[in-house]
A and B are shown apart, each in its own frame.
Chain A
Amino acid sequence: MATNSHDSATEAQIAAALARCAAGERAALKVIYDIEAARMVGVARRMLRRQDLAEEAVQDAFMRIWRAARSFDPQRGGPRTWLYAILRNCALTILRDESRFTADEENAEDAAPIAESAMARLPEASALRRCLESLDAQRRTVVVLAYVHGLSHGELAGKLGVPLGTVKSWVRRSLISLQECMG
């Protein structure tokens, strides 16, 4: 299911490195680090907004990748989606830890332009971009902000100034439309 911009050679290289990690070969983890670390720090920083927290998330992610390498099953999914799912979980754990992470006061910032600029970074030919563009602007904003910045239902409601139930229903409807468009 390697339908991203990365070639299958990179996918194969990472899959092979994961198999070597599973056999206890530490040098193989460095292979993955050299290929993906800069992107992973970029993704974590997009969600956490701070370099130190981003690096902490990436460090946590590599620890989990090392320990869980044996459970990676190429039959069930691609190696990169596996890596980035782990990273996303690590970043969300830090983000949702309210005792550590005080939400910054950017609520005044208009949500729509942030979502639009994230969408504008997607390649023109991207199916995700095309399908998001076909949605109502407010409805796509909730999905984009949830993924790109890791906002929760509550944070989305606060940012958009609408009730929680409305946000939940916008998210669901957007996802159904996306499924129809991309399915």
Chain B
Amino acid sequence: MTRDENEKTLAAEYVLGLLEGEDKTEAERRLTSDAAFARDVETWRTRFMAFDDATELRPASDALWRKIEAAIQAPARTPATQSAWSRLWGNIGVLRAATLAASFAAILFAVGLGVAIRKAREQPVMVAVLMDGTRPGAVVHAFADGRVVLVPLTTINVPEGRVLEVWTLPSRERGPVSVGLMSQARTLQLNLKDLTAPRVDQLFEITLEPAGGSPIGRPTGPVLYKGTTSTAL
């Protein structure tokens, strides 16, 4: 068996649930620290999922959702925060071993996580998920105290000499208003200036603009991500 065959077989055995004890623990560890292994696992999951998609549907009992709903009510916040912390510590472990680039990504993630943990304590009143058509790229949270914060969910490729500009459309009459500028995807407090707090269905978008931002005060570059606000429950 070649090394590559061995790696791919190991990933498949992990997906099948055939690894036990230390082998399983090691595979779980590599899933977060070894990108090639994680890709192999994802490939096998996708392949075998054909079986799940071909499996007969079984309606859940009415009680099932009620049980889930009861379990995720307010008290579940505490474990959520704890698990976020333990993930952060997990990441610090990864950080030591990772390459410089990976460390940098981990730091970005940890910073985002720090924000996410604080967010867990204070519920946004309004949320917008900014998509590129198929995948979410960022979330905009509007809080009761008037702060509006953009949290990226993915890295965004920014060519040399360009920046990411965040826009909102408070009304058709007013047109798009620039609310933030950044050289790379990061958590960003948006500056809504004189605008009122976002209302339901208010558009937010991220465009690619020349360094310094759009010279004409409205979007000129391609729209990378966009989405509209809805009320957070």
Contact = CB atoms under 8 A, between A and B. Distances in A.
Interface of A: 1, 3-6, 8, 11-12, 15-16, 18-20, 22-27, 29-30, 33, 37-39, 41-43, 45-46, 51, 54-55, 58-59, 62-63, 66-68, 70-71, 73-78, 80-81, 84-85, 88-89, 92, 118, 121-123, 126-129, 143-144, 146-148, 150, 152-153, 171-172, 175-176, 178-179, 182
B19 to A, nearest CB: 10
Mostly helix, strand, loop or mixed at chain B's interface?
A: helix
A72 to B, nearest CB: 9
A24 B119 contact: yes
B67 A59 contact: yes
Contact of B72 (A54, A63, A146): A63
Contact of B1 (A27, A51, A143, A176): A176
A128 B47 contact: yes
B9 interface: yes
B134 interface: yes
Contacts of B120: 24
B68 A59 contact: yes
B76 interface: yes
Given A19-B153, A33-B65, A58-B64, A171 B18 contact: yes
**Could you say which of A4, A19, A46, A146 has the most chain B C-beta atoms within 10 Å of its C-beta?**
A19
Interface string B53-80: 1111111110011011101100011011
Contact of B58 (A11, A23, A45, A67): A45
Contacts of A89: 17
Given A37-B65, A46-B56, A85-B45, 11 more contacts: A16-B131, A19-B129, A24-B123, A41-B58, A55-B61, A75-B155, A76-B42, A81-B45, A147-B15, A175-B9, A176-B5
B46 interface: yes
A131 B82 CA distance: 44
B59 A23 contact: no
Given A15-B135, A22-B116, A38-B60, A4 B49 contact: yes
13 contacts: A15-B134, A16-B131, A22-B116, A37-B64, A42-B56, A66-B76, A66-B80, A74-B135, A80-B49, A128-B48, A128-B50, A153-B18, A175-B9
